[in-house]
Amino acid sequence: MKEADISQVSLIEADTFPQLFPPTSFRKELQREVSTVLVAVTNPNIVKGNETPLTVLARKTSPSTTYRSGSTGWKPGMDFLTGFIFLWDTTFEESHVMSIGTRRSHRRKGIGELLLYSAAISSIKKGARSLTLEVRVSNVPAISLYKKYGMTTQGLRKSYYIDNHEDAKIMTVDDIQSLDYRNLLNDRRVRLEERLKN
């Protein structure tokens, strides 16, 4: 993520995690050594549907009313961001996924997977030994994505989420430096590249 991406990342976060308060200060996170924020970028012209052409939409309408059309926060000349993943490198050689989100209009196209794959590679390069996160027990899409990347449930945090007191699963993959895990990533990468071409 670069400074010019902050507005789009913040809007994707607000739509993805409406209950999150206060929102993440991505400007601050950009300065912190422990933080990594990766973004997925695509060409705005590939957004499909019956919307007004994107350039007009970006000029004439406010982001809050056009989110679901897929272009919110984007203006001509900017990269078009379709998702983000935010990690903290903690002590104990652990990378903690704080949040991940794909624009609603771009879900189920492999972008969440691309982000998680890229986060795993980034964490390996930084020397982390494990990747961990918390996820709502009801969040079937996210849990399925994490399982696909070798993460397993290590425990529960009871009533972890303050909005509805939902429990969180703690999901972790240990030993991301291992040959087995690198092989899993290589396998996922080959399939993902095929998927993203379509």
* 173 is a site residue for ligand COA (CB under 6 A): no
* 2 is a site residue for ligand COA (CB under 6 A): no
Least separation in angstroms between residue 92's CB and ligand COA is: 21
Print the binding letters for residues 24-43 with ligand COA: x by CB under 6 A, - otherwise. Answer: --------------------
The C-alpha atoms of residue 11 and residue 34 are separated, in whole angstroms, by 23
Contact in structure between 57 and 93 (CB atoms under 8 Å) = no
Q: Partners of 170 in the beta sheet? A: 134, 155
Q: Which residues, other chains included, contact 12 with Cβ-Cβ below 8 Å and sequence gap of 6+?
A: 73, 81, 83, 84, 101, 102, 103
Site for ligand COA in 126-145 (CB under 6 A): 135, 139-142, 144-145
Residue number, 111 or 176, with CB nearest to ligand COA: 111
Residue number, 16 or 52, with CB nearest to ligand COA: 16
Q: What positions carry a catalytic annotation?
A: 134, 146
Three-state DSSP state, 155: strand
Residue number, 55 or 118, with CB nearest to ligand COA: 118
Least separation in angstroms between residue 123's CB and ligand COA is: 16
Residue number, 60 or 108, with CB nearest to ligand COA: 108
Residue number, 176 or 188, with CB nearest to ligand COA: 188
The C-alpha atoms of residue 37 and residue 117 are separated, in whole angstroms, by 13
* 18 is a site residue for ligand COA (CB under 6 A): no
Strands (E), 14-74: 35-42
* 46 is a site residue for ligand COA (CB under 6 A): no
Q: Is the peptide bond before 22 cis (omega within 30 degrees of 0)?
A: yes
- ∠ CA 139-9-176, rounded to 5°: 60
Q: Which stretch binds ligand COA (CB under 6 A): 30-38, 53-61, 64-72, 106-114?
A: 106-114
Beta strand 35-42 pairing with 80-90: antiparallel
Kindly state the tokens that stand for 120. Answer: 């795993």
* 113 is a site residue for ligand COA (CB under 6 A): yes
Q: What's the chain's Rg over C-alpha atoms?
A: 17
Q: Kindly list the residues in this chain that would bind ligand COA in the complex (CB under 6 A).
A: 16, 100-102, 107-113, 135, 139-142, 144-145, 148
